[in-house]
Amino acid sequence: MKELLQQVINGLSLGSIYALIALGYTMVYGIINLINFAHGDIYMVGAYVGFAVTTSLHLGFFPSLVISMVVCSILGVIIEKVAYKPIRGSSRIAALITAISVSLFLEYGMMYFVKAETRTFPNVLGKNSLKLLDGSVVIDYKNIYIVAITIILMVALQYIIRRTKAGKAMRAVSLDREAAQLMGVNVDRTISYTFAIGSALAGAAGVLVGVYYTTINPLMGIVPGLKAFIAAVIGGIGVIPGAVFGGLFLGMIETMVSAYGGSLYKDAVAFAILILVLLLRPSGLLGRNIKEKV
């Protein structure tokens, strides 16, 4: 029981990171039906920005988190303007190829500037921990920070989506882009807002991963990016609560599989769950089936 509780805590931390990355996938898909495979590499850039801020400028955890979110937000807008906007009216395969190209450009561009070796992320949160049940369950403060920051960012995102003018515009464009444009919504600006917010969340996830795993490298965004995409599909891509649920669910499953002797198969389990969900409920566990006219 004590070991199970310890693994639940670890699963919540990992799932929170997946959820932050998955939110970017699901927001962009909900607005322009684009699967932004470069999103995982924006998260990688966020980790390196946090690393540079803490090592070169000697700033603490929260300043590095904020700076990383701002830089990744700007990067997301630039990518949307330069790479995705010119092909917005093209076929989906063209958008997919462009997304993969942007992903490779970010990976090997970063490798060119910082080299390929793995870097050790500074321990900016210390080694303090909270002990429960007579010390048999140990909660590192970094786990608490990860879950708490994820909750704060998700609450802030819900406030933006539900209460602000930009959030209402996002929901309008998601439902019907042409009708929203006729009602005076600036679609281009709204799409830029979406990329900015999603990329900022990915930047925050990059810093949290650096703190959690203590190592970063230019290819670190590939597997977590795919896992976050799986999480978004499991929950229902295009549905914000679905991305959160999918991230936490996948993080918990992976942690349990690793804890009970299946660490070599955790990636296979994630993809097996994806296949089952696509076979049994293609719209995702929290998604809705939408009929399309042909």
Residue 50 clears pLDDT 90, i.e. is over it: yes
Confidence of residue 294 (pLDDT cuts 50, 70, 90): very low
What confidence tens digit (pLDDT) does each residue in 102-158 have?
Answer: 999 999 999 999 998 999 998 888 777 777 766 667 788 888 899 999 999 999 999
User: How far is it, in rounded angstroms, from Cα 239 to Cα 94?
Assistant: 24
Question: What pLDDT, on the 0 to 100 scale, is given for residue 291?
Answer: 55
Residue 1 clears pLDDT 70, i.e. is over it: no
Enter the DSSP assignment of 262.
I
- The C-alpha angle 190, 244, 221, rounded to 5 degrees, equals 80
| Domain ranges for the chain | 2-220
Given a contact cutoff of 8 angstroms between Cβ atoms, the answer to whether 41 and 205 are in contact is: no
Helices (H), 57-130: 61-79, 92-114
- What pTM, to 2 d.p., does this model score? 0.91
- What is the average pLDDT across 255-282? 88
Q: What is the CA 241 to chain-centroid distance, rounded?
A: 13
Given a contact cutoff of 8 angstroms between Cβ atoms, the answer to whether 207 and 214 are in contact is: no
- What is the average pLDDT across 245-250? 94
